[in-house]
Amino acid sequence: MVTGAPATMLDRREELTPMLAQYVEVAERYDDAIVLFRVGDFYKAFCEAADEVARVCELTRIEREDSTGTYTACGIPVDNAPKYLKRLLDAEYRVAVADQVEDPEEASGLVERAVTQVLTPGTVVEEELLAEGSNTYVACVASEAEGTEASARTGSGATREDEDQNDPAYGVAYVDVSTGECAVTAGDAAAVDEELARIDPAELLVAPGVDPAVVDGADCMRTERDPETFDPEAARGVLDRYADPDRFDAAERVAAGALLSYAEYTQGDDGPLEYVRRVRRYDPRRSLRLDATALRGLELFENHVGSGRTLFDTLDETRSALGRRRLRAWLRRPLVDREAIEARHDAVAAFAERTLAREAVRDALSAAYDLERLAGRISRGRANARDLRSLYDTLAAVPDIREAIGGVDALAEVRGDLDPLDDLRELIDEAVVEEPPQEITEGGVIRAGYDGELDEIRTTAREGREWIANLEERERERTGIDNLEVGYTQVHGYYIEVTNGQLEKVPDDYTRRQTLKNSERFYTPELKRREDEILGAEERADALEYELFADLRDRVADESDRIGALADAVARVDALAALATAAVQRDYVRPEMGADGIALDRSRHPVVEETEPEFVPNDAALPRGTVALITGPNMSGKSTYMRQVALAVVLAQAGSFVPADAARLPVVDRVFTRVGASDDIAGGESTFMREMRELTDVLHDATGDSLVLLDEVGRGTSTADGRAIARAAVEFLHDETGATTLFATHYHELTDLADEYERVVNRHFAATERDGVRGSEAPASQPETPRVSGDEVTFLHRIREGAASSSYGVEVAELAGVPESVVARAHDLVAADRDRDEGEPTVDAGSGSGSGSAGATPQRTLDEISTNGHGHGDDGGDAPSADPEPPAVRDDAVADLLADLLDHPLAETTPLEALNALHEYQRRAEEAANADDAGERA
Ligand SMILES: Nc1ncnc2c1ncn2[C@@H]1O[C@H](COP(=O)(O)OP(=O)(O)OP(=O)(O)O)[C@@H](O)[C@H]1O
C-alpha cells in the first residue's frame, strides 16, 4: 500500500516546487490514505503515489520536469473520476481528495487546497460508487473494559459459562454516511458476531482493547484509528454532538463516538454530520435472531451454489431504492412482536386484495428518487438544482400514493405518515426551473418571479442584450455601411466590424479595438457602457442565483426530519406493496400467528419452487418442542424441506405471506441452522471443528421458542463418534432445550429414539428404485404414480410418517457418474452388509461423506458394538482385501467408553475441549483394541 507522503518527495522536500510542497504537506496529514490533488481538470498524484494510481487504475503516468528535477505524475480526469475511485476503493485504499478551497482567480500565488473528503469503502457518498438498493455501512466494535482486561477475559482457556459471566459488554455501532442512518447496541462476543453478520459492513473499526477473535467473522476492510479516538471521554464528546451520551452504555458510547468521529473525518472534518439526525439504540433480542450461520444456511441474501437466487431476490418486487433497502432490513431483522407482525400482515393483505390500488401505488413509486440519499446530499450541501427537482418529483408522487390507499384501515397508519410536504414542494417549484443545468454556479437555475432583485438584474441584462441585438441595424442605417456587423468575442467583448473598403465611412465616435487582415473592429462609448452593464449584470445574476440556491438548499435541509419521516413511510409502503405483489404472484397464504407449534399445509420452498418445474409441496406438523428426525436418500429433499419450514417462519415474522396452502405458526425467538453444504473452511477451522462450534451454539442458546435445523450432525468425524454426538444432541434438545427441531440424519438407528422420547417423531423422504433391488417404497403402496425410469432411482420429494429404510447413496453415486465398476462393487458391499445385518437397520454405505460407497469398511451399528463386541462375522471371500478385519474389542472397555461418550456434556463443552475429548476417546478405543489383540496373542 502506498499512502501518505511519497518517500521520494520527502527526500527532496527542500527542493520541491510550491505546489508539490503543498501536496507533501497535505499527504503527511493523511498518512493512511492515497492523496489526490485537484489540478485543473484532474485529480493528481505524484511520485510513488502516481505509480500506484497508474497501476491500480490502469492510467498512464507522465514524467514531469521542472527546475527541481523530474518526477512522475498521474491524473484521474475529474469528469470520469468515480470509475477510477472505485478501483482504488476496491483495492482497499482510502482516498483523500484535496480540492481547491479558494477561487483560483482570487488567489495570490498558490491556490489553497484542503482535503474535502476521504473516500473509504464504508463511507462513500458518491451516487456512482454506491449500490442502489442496499446500504453501505461502516461499523465499529468497542469494549466497555478498554485495554488488556477485556482481551484477557476471552482467552481461550475460559469455558462458555465463564465467558458469559465475565464477557465484557461490547458496543457495536454502525452508520450509513449516505443516508445518515446510525444505530448502536451492546452485547457479548457472540452477539457481536451475530450483529456484524446482520449489518454486513463494508468497513470495520475495532477499538484497541477488543480481542481480535470477537470480530473474526466480519469479512470486510479493517480500518485502524488512533487509539485516542476510542478514549471514553473523547468518544463521549463526539457523541454528544448527535445525542445525549447518557442514554447509552459505556461500550456503546465508545463505539458510537469513535465511529462518528471517523465518519466526520471522512467527510472533510467540518464538524458534526447534520444528516445523522439520531443515533438509534436497539436491542437485537427485539427481533428474530438470525446469526451468520443462519443467514448463510437459509440463503437469505447470499447463495453460493445452485441457481444463485436468494430469498431476497425472490421477494424483491419493490419499485424504489428506499423500499429495497427496507425489505432487506425486514428480512434481516424479522419481528418477534405478534401484534406488529399481524399489523404487517394486515397491510400486506390489504394490498393483496386491491390490485388496482397496489398497481397505482407501485406506478407512483417508480417515480420516487432515493429520498434518504437526496436528503443526505442536501444536508451535506452537495445537492445541485437537479437534486432538488428530483425531490420535487418524488414529493409530487406522494398524493397519488395517498389517494390510492385512502379509506383502507390497515394502511391508515402509513398513509398518515405520508406527508406530501406541500410547502416544500411548492417552494422548490417556485424557485427552481423545471430542467435546471448540472452546474449551480453558472446561472439558469432560479425561476423568474422568485426574487425581485434577480429579476431586475436579469431585466437589465436582457435589455442590454436587446439593445445590442438591434445595434447592427441602427448603425448600418446611421453610417450607411451595409455590411457592418456586430459581434462578440470572449477576449475583446462586443465590437462593430467594418471591412477595409468601408473604413472612410466610420463615424467619429468609433474607437478602434482590433485590427484584422480585411477589417477593423470598433466600439462606441455607449456599446462599452452597455457591455459592462450586461457582463456585470450576468455575473451578479449568477452569483445571486447561487446564493439564492444555497439558501433554498439550507431551507430544505432544515426540513430533513420531515423528509426523513416521509422517506420512512415511502420505504414502508413500497416494501408492503412488494410483499403483497410477491404473495399474489406466487400464491402465498397469510399465516395465522401465535400457534403453539408449526403447522404448514402443502408448503413450498420459495426459491427452489421458482426453478423446479415440478416442485412437490409438503406438510409440516410440528407441535412445540417436537424433534423430527428426517431420514431418506441423498438428494431426496431433506435439506430443502427443512429450509422451507424455517423460511416460512422467517417470512411470516418479516411480515410476508408464506408459500403454502395454509399456515399456522408460532412466534419464534431464534432460528438456528446447521444445514447443508456449509463445508467452507472459514478461518482455518476444520469442517468438524466448525460443525461442533455451531452445534455448541445451538445447544447452549436455543430455547423452547427456538426453531433448530440440524443437517447430518456428526458427519465430519468417524461414524461411531458422529452417531454418538447426534444421538446425544437429540436427547439434549428434547430434554433440556425443548426447541422445535428438524434433524436430518443418515444414522438410521437414531430413529429408535422415537420409541423412547415423547416428542421425537420420525419422518422420511420416499424414493422408488429399480424393481427388486431394495424394498424401500413398494410402488403399489403409494398414492401417487411412482416415477421409475429405466433402472434409476426416482425421488418423490414427498415427506412421510416414519423412518426411511434405505439411503440410496450408491444410486446417487451412480447418478453422479461414479465409474460403473465402483458402483457395482459398492452395491455388492451394501448387499453383503445387509445380509450380515439380517434386516437390522445400519448406517448405509454412501451416507454422510459418501466414503462408504467406494469401498471403505462397512460400519457396525451402535447396538452391535455395545452388545456383542464383534460386529461382523467372517466376510469370507466377499470381503475386499483392503478391508481390515474389524478389531476384536473388550466389551467392558467399549461399554464404558460408549457410556462416557453418550454422557458427555456437550452443551458445556467448548470446541477445543470437544476435540481434546475426542482425542481421549480415540485413545481409549485404540487401547481397548490393542489390549484385546494382546489377549488373543497370549
Ligand atoms: N419438494 C421438492 N420438489 C421438487 N424437487 C425438490 C423438492 N425438494 C428438493 N428437490 C430437489 O431435489 C434436490 C435435492 O434436494 P436436497 O438437497 O434438499 O436433498 P437432501 O435430501 O438434503 O440431499 P443430501 O442428503 O444429499 O444432502 C434439489 O436439487 C432440489 O431442487
253: amino acid identity, one letter:
R
State CA 185 to chain mean position distance. 18
pLDDT at res. 424: 94
Residue 46, Cβ density class (10 Å: 0-12 exposed, 13-18 middle, ≥19 buried): buried
- Indicate which residue's Cα is closest to atom 24 of ligand 1: 634
Give the pLDDT confidence score for residue 652 in this predicted structure. 97
Q: How confident is the model at residue 171 (pLDDT cuts 50, 70, 90)?
A: very high
In this structure, the residue with its CA closest to atom 9 of ligand 1 is 637
**Residue 295 Cα to ligand 1 middle (Å):** 20
Q: Is 638 annotated as a binding residue?
A: yes
User: Ligand 1 center to residue 617 CA distance, Å?
Assistant: 12
Residue nearest to atom 26 of ligand 1 (CA): 634
Residues 6+ apart with CB under 8 A from 458: 448, 537, 541
User: Which of 298, 636, 763 maximizes ligand 1 atoms within 8 Å of its Cβ, making it the mutation to test the pocket?
Assistant: 636
Q: Given ligand 1 and candidates 309, 635, 853, which is best to mutate, with the most ligand atoms within 8 Å of its CB?
A: 635
Give 767 Cα–ligand 1 centroid separation in angstroms. 12
Per-residue pLDDT, 760: 92
pLDDT for 785 beyond 50 = no
* HEC readout, 214-278: HHCCCCCEEECCCHHHHCHHHHHHHHCCCCCHHHCCHHHHHHHHHHHHHHHHHCCCCCCCCCCCC
- pLDDT for res 706: 95
Lowest-confidence region among 95-99, 180-184, 805-809, 897-901: 805-809
| Predicted confidence (pLDDT) at residue 73 exceeds the cutoff of 60 | yes
Cα separation, 191 vs 781, in Å, equals 50
- Closest atom of ligand 1 to 746 CA is 25
Q: 860 falls in which pLDDT band (50, 70, 90)?
A: very low
What integer is the mean pLDDT of 159-172?
59
The residues near 234 (Cβ < 8 Å, ≥ 6 apart) are 228, 257, 261
Strands, E assignment, 752-869: 760-768, 794-801
Question: Is residue 883 very low, low, confident or very high in pLDDT (cuts 50, 70, 90)?
Answer: very low
Confidence of residue 159 (pLDDT cuts 50, 70, 90): very low
Is 634 among the annotated ligand-binding positions?
yes
Q: Give the DSSP H/E element, type plus range, for residue 44.
A: strand 42-46
> What is the arithmetic mean of pLDDT over 641-669?
96
Give nearest CA residue, ligand 1 atom 1: 616
- Cα of 645 to ligand 1 centre, how many Å? 14
Under 8 Å between Cβ of 211 and 151: yes
Distance 902 CA to ligand 1 centre (A): 31
Ligand 1 centre from 729 Cα, in Å? 24
Nearest CA to ligand 1 atom 30: 637
Nearest CA to ligand 1 atom 23: 635
Ligand 1 mutation target, pool 298, 602, 612, most atoms within 8 A of CB = 612
Q: How far is the CA of 793 from the centre of ligand 1 (A)?
A: 13
Pick the range with the lowest mean pLDDT from 333-337, 668-672, 688-692.
688-692
Inform me whether the pLDDT recorded for 246 exceeds 60: yes
pLDDT of the residue at 668: 95
pLDDT band at 876 (very low <50, low <70, confident <90, very high): very low
Tell me what the mean pLDDT of segment 548-572 comes to: 92
Rounded to whole angstroms, the Cα distance separating 104 from 111 reads: 6
The whole-angstrom separation of Cα 790 and Cα 796 is: 16
Q: Rounded CA gap, 370 and 569, in Å?
A: 13
Mutation probe of ligand 1 site: the residue of 299, 640, 799, 810 with most atoms within 8 A of C-beta: 640
Q: Find out whether 737 and 703 touch, Cβ atoms under 8 Å.
A: yes
Percent of the chain with pLDDT over 70: 83
What pLDDT is attached to residue 307? 61
Between residues 109 and 327, which one has the greater pLDDT?
327
How far does residue 740's CA lie from ligand 1's centre (Å)?
A: 22
DSSP type of residue 145: S
Q: Which of 789, 783, 791, 743 is nearest to 766 (CA)?
A: 783
Distance 624 CA to ligand 1 centre (A): 25
637 is in an annotated binding site: yes
pLDDT classification of 749: cutoffs 50, 70, 90? confident
Pick the range with the lowest mean pLDDT from 96-110, 537-551, 701-715.
Answer: 96-110
Residue nearest to atom 18 of ligand 1 (CA): 637
Which region among 361-375, 700-714, 811-825 has the lowest average model confidence (pLDDT)? 811-825
CA 921 to chain centre: 43
Question: Which residue has better confidence, 808 or 252?
Answer: 252
151 has pLDDT over 80:
no
Whose Cα sits closest to atom 25 in ligand 1?
634
Q: What is the pLDDT of residue 688?
A: 74
Are the C-beta atoms of residues 287 and 303 closer than 8 Å to each other? no
Whether the pLDDT of residue 87 is over 60: the answer is yes
732-755 mean pLDDT:
88
**Residue owning the nearest CA to atom 11 of ligand 1:** 637
- Tell me which residue has cell 442514554: 247
* Nearest-5° Cα angle at 271, 261 to 390: 105
The larger pLDDT score, comparing residue 108 to residue 382, is at 382
Using the mean position of ligand 1's atoms as its centre, give its distance from the Cα of residue 588 in Å.
21
Res. 859: pLDDT tops 90: no
CA of 293 to the centre of ligand 1 (A): 20
636 marked as part of a ligand binding site = yes
Going from the Cα of 253 to the center of ligand 1, the distance in angstroms, rounded, reads 48
Residue 711 CA, ligand 1 centroid: distance in Å: 13
For 192, the enclosing helix (H) or strand (E) is helix 189-199
Q: Which atom of ligand 1 is nearest to the CA of 676?
A: 27
Which residue owns the Cα nearest ligand 1 atom 15?
A: 637
305-328 mean pLDDT? 88
Read off the pLDDT of each residue in 91-102 and give the average, rounded to a whole number.
86
User: Does 108 belong to an annotated binding site?
Assistant: no
Total number of residues shown for the chain: 938
Q: How far is the CA of 637 from the centre of ligand 1 (A)?
A: 3
Which numbered atom of ligand 1 lies nearest the CA of 812?
A: 26
CA distance 358 to 583: 12
- Copy the grid coordinates of residue 857: 469398511
The C-alpha R_g of the chain, in whole angstroms, comes to 37
Has 483 been labeled as part of a binding site? no
- Of the pLDDT bands very low, low, confident and very high (cuts 50, 70, 90), residue 899 is confident
Worst-scoring range by mean pLDDT, 208-217, 351-360, 786-795?
Answer: 786-795
Q: What is the mean pLDDT of residues 900-917?
A: 75
- Which pLDDT score is estimated for 914? 78
- The whole-number pLDDT of residue 146 equals 52
> HEC string of 508-548?
CCCEEEEECCCEEEEECHHHHHHHHHHHHHHHHHHHHHHHH
- The protein residue with its alpha carbon nearest to ligand 1, atom 13, reads 635
**Residues forming beta bridges with residue 66, ordered by sequence position:** 69
Output the residue whose Cα is nearest ligand 1's atom 29: 635
Tell me the mean pLDDT in the region 761-777. Answer: 59
633 annotated ligand-binding residue = yes
Q: Which atom of ligand 1 is nearest to the CA of 614?
A: 4
The reported pLDDT for the residue numbered 864 is 34
Calculate mean pLDDT across residues 134-161.
Answer: 60
Q: Which of 188-202, 315-329, 572-586 has the lowest mean pLDDT?
A: 188-202
Which of 254 and 107 is assigned the larger pLDDT? 254
Evaluate if residue 887 carries a pLDDT over 80: no
Q: What letter does residue 761 receive in the DSSP assignment? A: E
Which of 23-27, 103-107, 870-874, 883-887 has the highest mean predicted lDDT (pLDDT)?
Answer: 23-27
Residue 847 pLDDT greater than 60, yes or no: no
pLDDT one-digit tens code per residue, 429-479: 999 999 998 888 888 889 999 999 999 999 988 898 899 889 999 999 999
Query: Which atom of ligand 1 lies at the shortest distance from residue 604's CA?
Result: 1
Residues with CB under 6 A from ligand 1: 608, 612, 614-616, 618, 632, 634-640, 797
- Residue 771: per-residue pLDDT: 42
- And the C-alpha cell for 636? 431426496
Q: What residues contact residue 436 under an 8 Å CB cut-off, 6+ apart?
A: 384, 385, 386, 388, 389, 444, 445
From atom 5 of ligand 1, which residue's Cα is the shortest distance away? 615
- Which residue minimizes the CA distance to atom 14 of ligand 1? 635
Residue 418 has pLDDT above 70, yes or no: yes
The ipTM estimated for the assembled molecules is: 0.98
pLDDT above 70 for 38:
yes
Residue 584 CA, ligand 1 centroid: distance in Å: 26
Say if residue 182's pLDDT is above 80. Answer: yes
Atom number in ligand 1 closest to CA 643: 18
Pocket test for ligand 1, best of 305, 604, 608, 793 (most atoms within 8 A of CB): 608
Q: How confident is the model at residue 793 (pLDDT cuts 50, 70, 90)?
A: low
Q: Report the percent of the chain where pLDDT is more than 90.
A: 38
Kindly state the average pLDDT of the residues 829-837: 65
Residue 169 is predicted with a pLDDT of 86
Return the pLDDT at 671.
94
- Give yes or no for residue 262 having a pLDDT over 70: yes
Indicate the average pLDDT of the chain.
81
Least confident of 351-355, 393-397, 604-608, 795-799: 795-799
Over range 761-765, report the average pLDDT.
86
Looking at 733-788, list the stretches that DSSP marks H as alpha helix, in order from N- to C-terminal side.
753-756
Q: Which of 678, 667, 693, 657 is nearest to 294 (CA)?
A: 678
Say how many Å lie between the CA of residue 382 and the centre of ligand 1.
52
**Listed ranges 3-7, 359-363, 882-886; the one with the highest mean pLDDT:** 359-363
Question: Given a cut of 50, is residue 871 above it in pLDDT?
Answer: no
Angular region, 521: left φ>0, alpha ψ -120 to 50, beta rest: beta
Under the banding of pLDDT at 50, 70 and 90, the label for residue 663 is very high
